[in-house]
């Protein structure tokens, strides 16, 4: 305040629940603006729901490069990353399409608490900016200003596979085949002697082991994949088109709000963006609802329409898409896929209605089930009881 008076509102520390990318992005921006920040994290380290697996920080849905966007908000790339400009994608008939772009399609980063990971890089930055981090602190109630960033609450998709060591050369592959990953895709990412292979499925959870085994066979056949010291891993993802991203008057960010691209299941860019927006809403005293609806809602809706369209088109739709992408200027085509079009506008009401229905996976009744979601929700229940 200009007259030297203290402002009780801005003097109160902001509590951030969860030290994932959403919570940490928010913490960095707030702390850099001089706000007191306490991040309360359930686990004893960051990234504990990940396993050193490679993920892609997508760079195709916006004209701005993701790192320029982060830098503008005051967040540095203080973690290892590798730009991916070239990728091979297969259709359900096993045909390969080579996709090359001038600007990176995505940046390969590592998740978990290891050296060079996104999670550890953001944590170090938040601490350097002055945020206090409390680990092993599971939050049930909060007082004062807060931002909720506790990650996914439900499983709308699961990704299951292996992290491994390998002598195979670097490469980045995906396949759209319902027999390998129902309504989703399988991927293989190899970089510097380490690899991640997974089936990312949007239904068919109960037969996850079968889908992973087929995915391994597929990539062995197509790429000569060899895995050493393969460790199984898995995780789940939550998509929602929230009516409100406020809970108890507090901004909800990242996957806790359901922010994620419904077509491809990419949530990190949304997590970082929404964390930044929540910080801005507190610093500038502007309405968070107005901010996320303006900055995030249009693309979230397009994602929902795209998922609906590709669910209807099935494997043939992906083949048509991949043919188009491999012929010319894939970056421009991908960018267009994420811009409003008459088709996405037309199908949106139906897509949104369809989307609001609860997950109905006929293969998983969540009873006596060994799928990633059922295992993790059981673990969460045990932890909360303890
Ligand atoms: C296997 C897998 C692969 C993926 N691949 C990609 C990809 O390639 N590209 C992409 O963009 N996205 C990908 N995603 C999605 C992406 O990882 C998430 O969208 C992103 O991590 C969401 O960030 P977040 O900060 O919202 O939540 P999280 O990263 O889940 O962080 C939430 C944090 O909150 C903590 N927490 C939870 N409850 C409490 C509580 N009560 N009190 C205190 N702390 C709490 C948790 O311990 C956790 O540390 C993938 C997800 C999975 C599972």
Q: What is the pLDDT of residues 248-299, one digit of tens each?
A: 999 999 999 999 999 988 999 999 999 999 999 999 999 999 999 999 999 9
For the purposes of burial, counting CB atoms within 10 Å of the CB of 196, is it exposed (0-12), middle (13-18) or buried (19 or more)?
buried
CB 287 within 8 A of CB 281: yes
Cβ contact 145:8 at 8 Å: no
Separation CA 17–CA 134 (nearest Å): 10
DSSP state of 169: P
**pLDDT (0 to 100) of residue 1:** 36
CA 219 – CA 223 distance, rounded (Å)? 5
Provide the 8-state DSSP code for 358: P
Rounded distance, CA 256 to CA 248, Å? 14
Report whether residue 49 contacts ligand 1, using a CB cutoff of 6 Å.
yes
Minimal-distance CA residue to ligand 1 atom 33: 18
Structure confidence at residue 360 (pLDDT): 56
- Report CA(240)–ligand 1 centroid distance (Å): 14
Q: SS3 letters for 66-79?
A: HHHHHHHCCCCCCC
376, pLDDT greater than 70:
no
Average pLDDT over residues 313-327: 92
Q: Is 150's pLDDT higher than 50?
A: yes
Residue 232 backbone dihedrals phi, psi, to 5 degrees: -65, 145
Which atom of ligand 1 sits closest to the CA of residue 268?
11
Specify whether the CB–CB gap between 160 and 204 falls below 8 A.
no
323 pLDDT exceeds 80? Answer: yes
CB of residue 303 inside a 6 A radius of ligand 1: no
User: Is the per-residue pLDDT at 222 higher than 60?
Assistant: yes
- Taking the centre of ligand 1 as the mean of its atom positions, its distance from the CA of residue 111, in whole angstroms, is 9
Ligand 1 close to Cβ of residue 61 (< 6 A): no
pLDDT at residue 327 above 50?
A: yes
Within 13 Å, how many C-alpha atoms sit on residue 47's CB side? 22
Ligand 1 midpoint to CA 8 (Å): 33
The Cα–Cα gap between 83 and 81 comes to: 7
Note every long-range contact of 3-10, with CB atoms under 8 Å and residues 24 or more positions apart, other chains counting.
Answer: 9/145, 10/35
The arrangement of strands across the sheet holding 157-165 comes to: 96-100, 86-90, 171-175, 185-191, 194-201, 157-165, 228-237
- Ligand 1 pocket test, pick from 16, 42, 234 with the greatest ligand atom count within 8 Å of Cβ, gives 42
Res 10: pLDDT: 65
CA distances from 294 to 33, 197, 268, 288 (A): 23, 36, 19, 10
User: What's the mean per-residue pLDDT of the chain?
Assistant: 91
Please tell me which residue, 100 or 328, carries the higher pLDDT value: 100
pLDDT for the residue 373: 66
pLDDT at 4: 39
Q: Which atom of ligand 1 is nearest to the CA of 159?
A: 1
56 pLDDT above the threshold of 90: yes
Judge if the beta carbon of residue 261 lies within 6 A of ligand 1: no
* Residue of minimum CA distance from atom 18 in ligand 1: 267
Cα separation, 182 vs 203, in Å, equals 6
382 pLDDT above the threshold of 60: no
Among the residues of the chain, which ranges form H helices? 8-11, 21-32, 66-72, 118-129, 208-223, 268-283, 288-295, 297-327, 330-337, 342-356, 372-385
Mean pLDDT of 314-330: 92
Q: Where are the alpha helices (DSSP H) in 85-173?
A: 118-129
pLDDT number for residue 206: 87
Instruction: Name the residue with higher pLDDT: 12 or 124.
Output: 124
Q: Name the residue with tokens 């200027």.
A: 329
């Amino acid at each position: 305040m200009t007259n030297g008076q203290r402002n009780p509102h801005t003097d109160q520390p902001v509590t951030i629940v969860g030290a994932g990318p959403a919570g940490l992005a928010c913490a960095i921006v707030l702390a850099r603006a001089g706000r007191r920040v306490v991040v309360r994290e359930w686990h004893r380290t960051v990234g504990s729901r990940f396993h050193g697996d490679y993920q892609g920080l997508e760079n195709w849905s916006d004209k701005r490069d993701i790192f320029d966007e982060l830098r503008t908000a005051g967040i540095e790339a203080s973690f290892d990353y590798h730009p991916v400009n070239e990728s091979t994608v297969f259709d359900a008939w096993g045909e390969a399409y080579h996709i090359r772009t001038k600007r990176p399609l995505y940046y390969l980063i590592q998740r978990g608490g290891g050296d060079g990971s996104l999670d550890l890089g953001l944590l170090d930055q938040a601490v350097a900016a002055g945020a206090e981090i409390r680990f092993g602190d599971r939050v049930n109630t909060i007082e004062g200003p807060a931002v909720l960033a506790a990650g996914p609450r439900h499983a709308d998709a699961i990704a299951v596979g292996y992290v491994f060591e390998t002598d195979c050369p670097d490469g980045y592959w995906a396949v759209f085949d319902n027999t390998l990953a129902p309504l989703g895709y399988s991927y293989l990412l190899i970089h510097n002697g380490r690899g991640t292979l997974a089936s990312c499925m949007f239904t068919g959870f109960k037969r996850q082991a079968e889908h992973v085994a087929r995915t391994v066979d597929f990539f062995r056949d197509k790429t000569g994949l060899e895995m050493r010291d393969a460790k199984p891993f898995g995780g789940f993802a939550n998509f929602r088109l929230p009516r409100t991203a406020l809970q108890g008057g507090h901004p909800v960010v990242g996957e806790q709000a359901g922010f994620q691209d419904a077509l491809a299941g990419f949530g990190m860019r949304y997590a970082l963006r929404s964390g930044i927006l929540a910080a801005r809403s507190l610093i500038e005293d502007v309405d968070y609802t107005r901010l996320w609806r303006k900055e995030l809602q249009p693309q979230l809706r397009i994602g929902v329409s795209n998922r609906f369209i590709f669910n209807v088109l099935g494997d043939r739709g992906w083949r048509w898409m991949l043919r188009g992408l491999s012929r010319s200027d894939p970056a421009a085509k991908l960018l267009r896929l994420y811009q409003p079009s008459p088709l996405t506008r037309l199908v949106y009401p139906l897509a949104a209605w369809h989307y609001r229905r609860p997950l109905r996976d006929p293969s998983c009744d969540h009873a006596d089930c060994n799928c990633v979601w059922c295992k993790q929700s059981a673990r969460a229940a045990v932890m909360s009881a303890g």
